[in-house]
Amino acid sequence: MPLPLFPLLTPIIIAIICIYAAAIWKNTRKANKSKTEEKVISKPWVDDDLKDGTEFNIQQQASKQLDEEITAQHIPYSPKHYSEEEMMRRAKKFYELMNKRRSVRFFSDEPVPREVIDYVIRTAGTSPSGAHTEPWTFVVVQEPEMKRQVREIIEEEEEINYKKRMGQTWVQDIQKMRTNWTKEYLEIAPYLILIFKQVYGNLPSGKKIHYYNEISVSISCGILLAALQNVGLVTVTTTPLNCGPRLRALLERPVNEKLLLLLPVGLPAKNVTVPDFHRKPLTDIMVLV
Amino acid sequence: MPLPLFPLLTPIIIAIICIYAAAIWKNTRKANKSKTEEKVISKPWVDDDLKDGTEFNIQQQASKQLDEEITAQHIPYSPKHYSEEEMMRRAKKFYELMNKRRSVRFFSDEPVPREVIDYVIRTAGTSPSGAHTEPWTFVVVQEPEMKRQVREIIEEEEEINYKKRMGQTWVQDIQKMRTNWTKEYLEIAPYLILIFKQVYGNLPSGKKIHYYNEISVSISCGILLAALQNVGLVTVTTTPLNCGPRLRALLERPVNEKLLLLLPVGLPAKNVTVPDFHRKPLTDIMVLV
């Protein structure tokens, strides 16, 4: 006699299955939605193109061969040793030089010798990097038509960033600094230095992940800024949001390189002004234990 | 006459619903699994603690008040202007100084004046930062017992990293550099500089996201490295993987600060050696357009 029971129970079974299916469906949608929302709300300034290469689905192959740069051979090292007085004098002098650095958005079109830029880039290349991968490419744009195209891409994307992608608070923050999406300086400055991070390297044995590539490249940018300041050149450290793929295509860089920073470089415009900022005092940035 | 049709169709309906539910269920699991795998395989060196604050579920409140630092007031700026010859001379000299920098893992316990370290940190604090947030805290550890505790935490976590968390290729790469989880230098070097990034700031109006905080803090580390090299001090730029929460607790730093880098600082040991690395030539790191 179980047969009559079946048709009787089916509406209940269907109802249970429907509730179950609906619950799973809802959870899936909720998970996806909260993931998207988190990305959009919490970190609107993170460029999709800056992700670290996980989207390339890197198959890292064990490298059997020793890289030329990474070898166990050690050599003596004798860095310069200064007296305490000399250390203090040098520390103070370098601080005073660096403390005069300001981000400048108004440039002179006065030419700057290419050899100076070469040395500045060489200096940036002395930076340490994770496992000595040196994961940086400095693209120096000096050709006027190319600068115009870089500007076009950046202004187009910046306008979208301002109007659509970024939150109102960010726009307020940046407005106080008088930044907007019109960036004349990209054509006026004699050089644009576009700093790419190499998220992986191509070895004969396959792709090799560059550990900590973003931190390494940012550190090298710090040394580059010091080198620029040391020769009296000015710049502004910019992060062209969402321009990476288009600029990479324009400059014909390979897919393992992602745009991290863009620095217009040159001499400052006559009568240049900067926001009246103050830096935090030492007591606010240093903790002694 | 539609009623007899209903019990007849129910097994088919149930089957369809089951397949549908199973498909959703499978997709959900697959998505979660691939997400986890991607994280573990592709970026094993990314410290969970270094994530940018999305896990704090930041509710960014529109700041009505103007920050002291971010104001539209502009002031004249007159940076030093060097002749072309002087620029070249300075560019070359600074490159030669920086090019002598090497990461050093063997330290002398010879004391170094605290005032020199103060100036080095001040210099790092001249770095630019996203929206002038200055999102850095430099914790300088000089107390021997505290250095011992820092070492203990790092060695414990490093051993786990080597033995369990990292892939075999990474271990091979690092072994070539003769690094392992025993780090004597953490107690010998007169100073440990622990560089924390502030992922958000606490304003009276609420939490304020620090845009690009990791890039900003890494740039300031580059300037710090230049300042150390300039005074003849040595260091090695390390990223203590997975030690962040324990070191933050030890040093009593607030939750908005995340450990990014740790630099032991001092004079080099007598007869110090470094790996026989070479740096890429300019043609490999610079592209002229």
Cβ-proximal residues to A19 (8 Å cutoff; 6+ apart), any chain: none
Percentage of chain B modeled with pLDDT above 70? 70
Q: Is the dihedral of CA B259, B215, B53, B203 positive or negative?
A: positive
Residue B77 has pLDDT above 50, yes or no: yes
Residue B63 has pLDDT above 50, yes or no: no
B-chain residue closest to A103, CA distance: B128
Instruction: Return the pLDDT at B203.
Output: 86
| Band (A53; pLDDT cuts 50, 70, 90) | very low
Residue A269 has pLDDT above 70, yes or no: yes
Instruction: Return the pLDDT at A149.
Output: 98
The whole-number average pLDDT for the span A73-95 is: 96
- Indicate the helix (H) or strand (E) that contains B288: strand B286-288
Instruction: Return the pLDDT at A173.
Output: 65
Torsion of CA B106, B108, B111, B113, to 10 degrees: -50
The Cα A215–Cα B214 span in angstroms is 7
Task: Report whether A121 contacts A140 (CB < 8 A).
Answer: yes
| Band (A77; pLDDT cuts 50, 70, 90) | very high
B118 contacts on A by Cβ (under 8 Å):
282, 286
Instruction: Return the pLDDT at A35.
Output: 43
User: Which of B95, B139, B215 is opposite residue A239, by nearest beta carbon?
Assistant: B215
For the segment B9-37, what is each residue's pLDDT rounded down to a tens digit?
676 776 776 677 666 665 555 444 444 33
B211 contacts on A by Cβ (under 8 Å):
45, 170
Task: Report whether A282 contacts B118 (CB < 8 A).
Answer: yes
- Best of B219, B234, B239, B276 to disrupt the A interface (most A CBs within 10 Å) is B219
| Band (A54; pLDDT cuts 50, 70, 90) | very low
| Band (B119; pLDDT cuts 50, 70, 90) | very high
Interchain pair A126, B98: CB under 8 A: yes
Instruction: Return the pLDDT at A63.
Output: 34
Domains and CATH numbers, chain A: 106-268 (3.40.109.10)
Instruction: Return the pLDDT at B60.
Output: 39
Residue from A275, A81, A287 nearest B233 by CA: A81
Residue B176 has pLDDT above 90, yes or no: no
Instruction: Return the pLDDT at B169.
Output: 66
DSSP per residue, A205-246: TEEEE-TTHHHHHHHHHHHHHHHHHHTT-EE--B--TT-HHH
Interchain pair B279, A126: CB under 8 A: yes
DSSP per residue, A43-91: -TTS-GGGS-SGGGT--PPP--SPPSS--S-EEE-------HHHHHHHH
pTM of the model: 0.79
The whole-number average pLDDT for the span B176-196 is: 85
Residue A235 has pLDDT above 60, yes or no: yes
Instruction: Return the pLDDT at B67.
Output: 39
Instruction: Return the pLDDT at B165.
Output: 67
| Band (B164; pLDDT cuts 50, 70, 90) | confident
| Band (B167; pLDDT cuts 50, 70, 90) | low
Residue B241 has pLDDT above 70, yes or no: yes
| Band (A203; pLDDT cuts 50, 70, 90) | confident
Task: Report whether B34 contacts A37 (CB < 8 A).
Answer: no
The Cα A22–Cα A29 span in angstroms is 10
Instruction: Return the pLDDT at A83.
Output: 98
Instruction: Return the pLDDT at B8.
Output: 60
Average pLDDT, chain A: 82
- Residue A230 has φ and ψ, to the nearest 5°, of -60, -30
Stronger pLDDT, A168 or B40, i.e. the higher one: A168
Assess B116–A contact: CB distance below 8 Å, yes or no.
yes
Beta bridge partners of B242: none
* ipTM (interface predicted TM): 0.79
Residue B260 has pLDDT above 90, yes or no: yes
The whole-number average pLDDT for the span A237-252 is: 94
The Cα B214–Cα B129 span in angstroms is 10
User: Which of A21, A95, A139 is opposite residue B17, by nearest beta carbon?
Assistant: A21
Percentage of chain A modeled with pLDDT above 70? 70
Assess A137–B contact: CB distance below 8 Å, yes or no.
yes
Instruction: Return the pLDDT at B178.
Output: 54
What burial class does residue B234 get, using C-beta atoms within 10 Å of its C-beta: 0-12 exposed, 13-18 middle, 19+ buried?
Answer: buried
Residue written as token pair 């490298």: A63
| Band (B57; pLDDT cuts 50, 70, 90) | very low
Interchain pair A14, B18: CB under 8 A: no
The alpha carbon of residue B145 and the mean position of all alpha carbons in its chain are separated, in whole angstroms, by 25
Instruction: Return the pLDDT at A32.
Output: 46
- Can you read off the two tokens belonging to residue B167? 């892939």
Residue A164 has pLDDT above 80, yes or no: no
Instruction: Return the pLDDT at A182.
Output: 77
| Band (A168; pLDDT cuts 50, 70, 90) | low
Assess A102–B contact: CB distance below 8 Å, yes or no.
yes
The whole-number average pLDDT for the span B184-195 is: 97
Cβ-proximal residues to A117 (8 Å cutoff; 6+ apart), any chain: A140, A191, A193, A265
The whole-number average pLDDT for the span B232-256 is: 96
User: Which of A58, A169, A236 is opposite residue B62, by nearest beta carbon?
Assistant: A169
Compute chain A's Rg from CA coordinates. Answer: 26
| Band (A61; pLDDT cuts 50, 70, 90) | very low
Stronger pLDDT, B49 or B255, i.e. the higher one: B255
| Band (B161; pLDDT cuts 50, 70, 90) | confident
Instruction: Return the pLDDT at A21.
Output: 66
Assess B22–A contact: CB distance below 8 Å, yes or no.
no
Percentage of chain A modeled with pLDDT above 90? 61
Assess B236–A contact: CB distance below 8 Å, yes or no.
yes
Instruction: Return the pLDDT at B228.
Output: 98
The whole-number average pLDDT for the span B50-71 is: 40
Residue A166 has pLDDT above 90, yes or no: no
The Cα B174–Cα B238 span in angstroms is 12
What is chain B's length?
Answer: 289
The Cα B269–Cα B105 span in angstroms is 9
The whole-number average pLDDT for the span B208-232 is: 96
For the segment A137-162, what is each residue's pLDDT rounded down to a tens digit?
999 999 999 999 999 999 999 888 77
- Can you read off the two tokens belonging to residue A152? 């076009």
